[in-house]
Chain A
């Protein structure tokens, strides 16, 4: 395919070609970043929480009776909840992934050290590991005699006395890269705490930067404030039924309380990511809309040109060009125009990404997105121009003898 006549013909429509290339460039820049944002947010939503999400039901109970002993209250509640048919395990906890109840401590490996590293403290009654369905990679669960109250009445002083902890693999890797964390010591409070186990995941109640989302520490500390979260484990199909029973069971035991957030863990996760889902939907719509409008622009312009050039196409056909030549001509022309848009488009994509990085905390656009975006737009252009190009190829040679 000789390029010279092709370029010569394009220079006759400089402004139009420029506009189309500009459109392709803008689309390329926006779509690359939009797709990147979609991938980012999807990855955020896909993060494993570490718990058996399909089998958990939770409820918050806030006791209103000032005088009562919270530890006894929780024990009695747990005993009653355990008796609900279909419930296999129960625990009282203070924090869960996505529930927003985040108590983070600075984690040092030496006493009284300043540290930038923080990890969420997740505390619960005996059997929390099994109830949540956490996956122990190495080490052991807490022993019954290791449990002590959190002492929430005195600034949660339990953290200064707790003997052992189980941490997540991400935290273990951050604290002791390349070594086993078992038996090592950390300082979440005033005193050393020995690591006796490592779980694969336990997401924090709030999400922050990707790297630190899984920095959690489990302590054998019993929640002892009036405000507590009960977690019940049951078969996935039993969850709704169990959920309906919980409030009655607890209120029968003691009605002087407020129950909140009775929900399955799946609902908790869905609510947490609701805004993300809306945003992903909008981003998808925007990307689809942009590609559609650009395809429309390419196809529309091509069909104008085909109509305009019917006579010259006829002449070319009359002097020996095959249908295939005509088809190739239009496809090649489109390839050039789209290519002319993609090159500045990629630069623009990068610039847009820099702007997003400063204003919306988006990470840097991986280089791979640019060639993929370019290929996508080339493909889009070729498909969009195919219809008009086929119509051009169908122009009979006899058009050469007719006026427009």
Chain B
């Protein structure tokens, strides 16, 4: 079970949150000019890293706000929590997994 620090409410149990998949995916502004392959890239293709993953969570049972989390998919360590719209922080990890 994760203890997720909501940027608004503070540390709460994982069951209060819903996972909202990978973050920082910008919708193309020129949708009508994209090829099917490029559109599919935006719609379906997601990172699946072994290590730091930048993802979104929503505090469903609390303040109902979305926010970004940088989480290690190996250790579940949460490196950073930051508000929507902020740039992804660069995470330096010790063991370089």
A and B: bona fide binding partners: no
Residues of A near any B CB (own CB < 8 A): none
Residues of B near any A CB (own CB < 8 A): none
